[in-house]
Amino acid sequence: MADFERQLFWIEKGKQIGYSVLDGYLSSEIAIQKHEGYYKVYFEKRDLEPVNYFDEGLIEEDSRRFTAIRDAVNWIEQKGYTLGQFAPLKGQKIFNPDFY
Q: What is the pLDDT of residue 2?
A: 53
Q: What is the pLDDT of residue 90?
A: 81
Is residue 61 in a domain?
yes
Is residue 70 in a domain?
yes
| Residue-range definition of the domain harbouring residue 54 | 5-85
Is residue 56 in a domain?
yes
Is residue 11 in a domain?
yes
pTM greater than 0.85: yes
CA 94: distance to chain centroid?
7
The pLDDT tens digits of the residues spanning 12-58 come to 999 999 999 999 999 999 999 999 999 999 999 999 887 777 778 88
Whole-angstrom distance, CA of residue 36 vs CA of residue 44: 22
Number of domains in the chain: 1
Under the banding of pLDDT at 50, 70 and 90, the label for residue 85 is very high
Is residue 95 in a domain?
no
CA 15 → CA 18, 23, 35, 59, distances in Å? 10, 26, 9, 27
Q: Would the pLDDT of 83 be above 60? A: yes
Q: What is the pLDDT of residue 69?
A: 97
